[in-house]
A and B are shown apart, each in its own frame.
Chain A
Amino acid sequence: KNEVEQSPQNLTAQEGEFITINCSYSVGISALHWLQQHPGGGIVSLFMLSSGKKKHGRLIATINIQEKHSSLHITASHPRDSAVYICAVPYTGNQFYFGTGTSLTVIP
């Protein structure tokens, strides 16, 4: 059993569509991280959140601690949003459980 489960694994969308990526976890956490991995391989941190909602540009992340679930939304999707999105939760203070990622392709 994976401590972090993401869905869907793969997602193809038309430019402009609203996108939702889901993350469920089974451990108690202090915060949840959303990461973006570009085709070249580099990873950037998008959000770190412990409650409620955060917004950055067209990206919105929400978390429900009671249900152990988080979602990443992309509004007005664009081909440059094509990437792998990874959910991560910390444990034992200095380590993380990572999801296997959601591969998003946005078609013009």
Chain B
Amino acid sequence: DGGITQSPKYLFRKEGQNVTLSCEQNLNHDAMYWYRQDPGQGLRLIYYSQIVNDFQKGDIAEGYSVSREKKESFPLTVTSAQKNPTAFYLCASSRRPSGELFFGEGSRLTVL
């Protein structure tokens, strides 16, 4: 079945550590996105990529980094520079800009 797979589902990290969240899709979608979700707020865009080897900063990119070396994969690294990283992270993809969004199950990061 086609879809988006995020891992890990839950992740605990100590302050000062970098962590990488995985996002893989087999939908053959060009566009991929990373969103952050905090209680009471709408989804906020961290980074997006429209094509391999190209990505753009979203509204809250500071403290995060991404890569897009393969069409199927769009990993997100939460660096130690991110001041408040505890949140729920969602990866999504779409076939075309502004098209139907397909989401992964999310990764919940907790900083201890």
Category for how many chain A residues contact B: 20 to 34
Q: In the complex the two chains form, is B42's CB within 8 Å of A100's CB?
A: yes
Smallest distance from the beta carbon of B59 to chain A beta carbons, Å? 8
Contact A90 B105 (CB under 8 A): no
B100–A94 CB distance below 8 A: no
List CB contacts (< 8 Å) of B72-99 with chain A. Answer: 88, 90, 92, 97-99
CB interface residues, B 8-58, toward A, < 8 Å: 31, 40-43, 45, 48, 50, 56, 58
Whether B101 pairs with A94 at a CB distance below 8 angstroms is no
Q: Give the residues in chain B near A88, CB-CB below 8 Å.
A: 43, 101
Interface string of A79-108 (1 = CB under 8 A from B): 000000010101001111111110000000
13 A-B contacts, Cβ less than 8 Å apart?
A: A40-B106, A41-B88, A42-B105, A43-B101, A44-B103, A45-B101, A48-B99, A48-B100, A93-B98, A94-B48, A96-B43, A96-B101, A97-B42
